[in-house]
Structure 1
Amino acid sequence: MIRITFLSNDAKVLEAPEGSNLLRVSLRGQGGIPFKCGGGLCGTCKCRIETGLAHADAVKPKERKHLDEAALAEGWRMACQTFVHGDVAVSW
């Protein structure tokens, strides 16, 4: 199990299996990441991986429509498109 810390939600910590989708974990455990569509179209689930960015999977094409290279380099990702393989802490 990995640990996901939702910094913008009073540092709430949820455990999830390795390879879990960030938005789905947030929804199941009331992590608080905002969202509208959940499918990579709207961009509302944009969040920043503050620690553990190396544990996130590769950036998807749908994310590149909402995030430029500078934002991606700063750790910004779309939660609906991001799967994590280790402990991370996120804010939004």
Structure 2
Amino acid sequence: MIKVTFLTNGGKTVTAPENSNLLRVSLREQGGIPFKCGGGLCGTCKCRIEKGIENTDAIKPKERKHLTEEQFAAGYRMACQTFLTGSVSVSWTPRPALQPVGRVAVDGD
């Protein structure tokens, strides 16, 4: 078993089998990595491997469409495309909270 620490989610640490997909671990364990498509098309699950980048598999072609070489060098990956061979700590930019929709004034209010 490997450990995955979700730094942006209060440092939540979970265990997972080796060769697990990072996004699937996040979904299963409520890690909090944002996502939309889950298939490498949108880039929403961009995250930074803060520790353990050596415990990730090779960069995929789909990731190259969303991330630059500089981002890869800084430890960024797409969670949906990343498989883990050992323990990692991961962070991401939190998505802004949705603002409540207010009531629209109508003539006569």
The TM tier, using the shorter chain, reads: over 0.9
Aligned residue identity for 1:6: F
| Cα distance in 2 for residues equivalent to 1:14 and 1:34 | 17
Aligned residue pairs, count = 92
**When you count strand as a share of all residues, which structure comes out higher?**
1
1:9 corresponds in structure 2 to 9
TM-fit CA distance, 1:81: 0.1
Bigger radius of gyration = 2
What is the TM-score of this pair, normalised by structure 1?
A: 0.99
Q: Using CA pairs under 8 Å that are at least 6 residues apart, name the structure with larger relative contact order, 1 or 2.
A: 1
User: Which residues of structure 2 form unaligned runs of 5+?
Assistant: 93-109
TM-fit CA distance, 1:88: 0.2
What is the TM-score of this pair, normalised by structure 2?
A: 0.84
Aligned residue identity for 2:50: E
Matches within 5 A, 1:17-36: 17-36=17-36
Aligned residue identity for 1:69: E
User: Which residues of structure 1 form unaligned runs of 5+?
Assistant: none
| Cα distance in 1 for residues equivalent to 2:12 and 2:32 | 9
Consecutive aligned runs of 4 or more in structure 1 exceeding 2 Å deviation = none
TM-fit CA distance, 1:63: 0.1
TM-fit CA distance, 1:3: 0.1
Aligned residue identity for 1:11: G
